[in-house]
Amino acid sequence: MESAAPTVHAMRLELEELAEQLRYHEAAYRAGRAEIPDAAFDDLFDRYAELADALGVPATERLDARPGSDHTEGFAEVEHRIPMLSLEKLTPNRKDGRGEPMALDAQLALWVERRRQDLELAKDARLPLFVEPKIDGISVSLRYEAGRLVQAVTRGDGRKGDDITRQIQRARAVPDRLVDVEGSLEIRGELYWPRPAFEAHNARLKASGEEPIANPRNGTAGMIKRKELAGLEDAGLASFLYQVPWSSGVALPSTQSGVLRWLGERGAPVYAGHTAVLEDVAAVVAHCESFGRLRGTLAFDIDGMVVKVEELKHYAVLGATGHHPHWGIAYKFPPERKATVLRGVELGVGKSGKITPVALLEPVGLAGTVVSRASLHNFVEVARKDIRVGDTVLVEKAGDIIPQVVDVVRSLRPEGAEAIARPTHCPACGASVVVEEIFIHCPDPGCPAQRRERLLHFGQRRAMAIDGLGESLVDQLVETLGITRPDALFGLEVAQLSGLERMGRKSAENLVRALDAARGRGLAKVLYALAIRHVGETMSDDLAAYFGSAEALLAFARRYVEGDASAVASVAPESGSGAIEGLARKTADVIFRELDSAPVRAVFAGLAAAGVKLDALRAVRVEREGVAGKTFVLTGTLPTLKRDAAAEMIKEAGGKTAGSVSKKTDYVVAGDDAGSKLDKAKELGVAVLDEAALLALLGRA
């Protein structure tokens, strides 16, 4: 059965949803409580990159513009002398210019050719490549002075990371001293948890009635951020070291393979087996695939191989982007797949009412876990793959999370296999569903299946930032105290809360204080926290800035839903852009219909009664000549300013910012890796400012 390709609008919606998932999982990982394995995160990220490429999202506006931060409160941050970046990846999901999948060897050949061009090498000139295993662990930077370890730092955001020296020394995961080394040097490597030690630790946790750790990498991330050091020495963490990015007073070999031998001779743990120096792309691929077949026999986890330019003299010439260096690339192993039978389909309902199909499977073993449920993504995907109940399906490895059904073995389809029907009503509340592009939604915000997810989302850091409002507590609030709406949270009292399981008086008092602090977050945070479809952080800010108050916004929503022509034309005209940038007619229809619904109006009334601030928080605005009334577009990485801080300065001076360059743009503020927006500015003759010129214009130089 053929299905029409998703529209641009549908692709943008999927991109926004993926971005939210990636931010959530990265934050969970950085906090040492990762919920999904690295391979599953990479799958989400690869799909995000595929959509971002297809939609032409500028490099500087993408999540992969630079590594995420792993900063944890309570740890001192240290700036890296040389940026500590992620590696670009060869991935099975990448497509060529015609939209066709690219084989990994073709991707690698293209990468090698680009490196040859960067180095201006003749066609017959040698370009040796060093190939080594990619350990699935946590990146670390180690500084040694006269052979003694003096500092250990996480990768962080690539520019600065957290100081974990005490944790590393207590865990004995790296050498405290190197042999015959004078001067100063930085060594980078990977911290990991050997399988035997990890399994022994989990056995101890189970014996004491505690929850086991999901997988070695997540466990390593949690261990190295422990503020309480007791027990670290018994965990069995280890490391492989692989790079010396800088040194002073140290004579180093001129090649990557030579550096590894040098490190090993001085007592550093290096991977001595299955590395190779090769020049032929086919030989590199063959080596990677050969080693991949050994994965299950190793005492540690690997998720691919790393291919590096062998001669270190080339590294400075090749340089890097804001996200990855050009001298190396990761060859990712394809995920493990198993065949099993699809026995049925269950419907799940998310916080915004999105209804998704979940496969109920004949249990199958994948990477040491038994899987009985898997994601089917959406009903367009089900139709495209023609998945039916009774089919033998291929399930992709996803470690400790629900995997995904990736294909059907049609030759094994039994007679009478049932097609999977799209739902017409919400499985939880019975409301008639709303179909929007590739997504199916329950339109009732009062739906019981949505309540828990909405309450959790309401308290998240990027929403109302209510510390302590986690999953366990939300479950009790719903089941024990009957909380069904976010406004009811503000009526909770210490006596009620302290009677809940694992909720003492001190915790109850802390939560009440957190709720009181949340009252002043302002309209933009409230709008985002309510999980209204299509109202992400940017749209929340724009709606709050334009309407100024919930009262004005809700009054407008009523006019819009009633068909007031002037209201519709002002924000979502048939052609061109309205008063709120990026708000298309279909999106506006959904947003204002939900805002005008009785359940959402009731929540706003409850929030107002609870003393929650429902006006926009406005910065002090002092208009400045040359800025007031002007439109600025920010692009690239600025030397010292974050883009949101620069945008705030512009708004405070009476200017406004836009996401794209047009003839109406007055200035483009360009940093490193500015990309297509800078090209567009030059094409249109728009004035281009660097950070220094912007600060001068703002009177802040």
Would you tell me how many other CB atoms lie within 10 Å of the CB of residue 495? 9
Nearest to 362, CA basis, from 353, 371, 349, 354 = 371
User: Is 390:372 a contact under the CB 8 Å cutoff?
Assistant: no
Residue matched to tokens 């991707």: 107
What would the 3-class secondary structure string for 630-656 be?
Answer: CEEEEECECCCCCHHHHHHHHHHCCCE
CA distance 224 to 138: 9
The owner of tokens 């309540």 is 451
**Identified catalytic residue from 134, 225, 308, 397:** 134
Among 399, 526, 502, 506, smallest CA distance to 454 is for 526
Identify residue 508 by its one-letter amino acid code: A
Q: Does 338 qualify as catalytic in the annotation?
A: no
For the stretch 319-323, contacts whose Cβ atoms lie closer than 8 Å and that sit 24 or more positions apart, written own/partner, are 320/83, 320/85, 321/59, 321/85, 321/673, 322/60, 322/65, 322/66, 322/85, 322/158, 322/637, 322/672, 322/673, 323/64, 323/65, 323/66, 323/67, 323/85, 323/86, 323/88, 323/158
CA dist list (Å): 687 to 103, 174, 345, 604, 682: 42, 52, 56, 44, 8
| Exposure on the CB side of residue 13, measured as CA atoms within 13 A | 20
Q: Which two tokens stand for residue 283?
A: 């030989």
CA distance 287 to 291: 6
Q: Which residue has the tokens 């946790």?
A: 205
What kind and span of H or E run contains 240?
strand 238-248
Q: Indicate which residues carry an active-site annotation.
A: 134
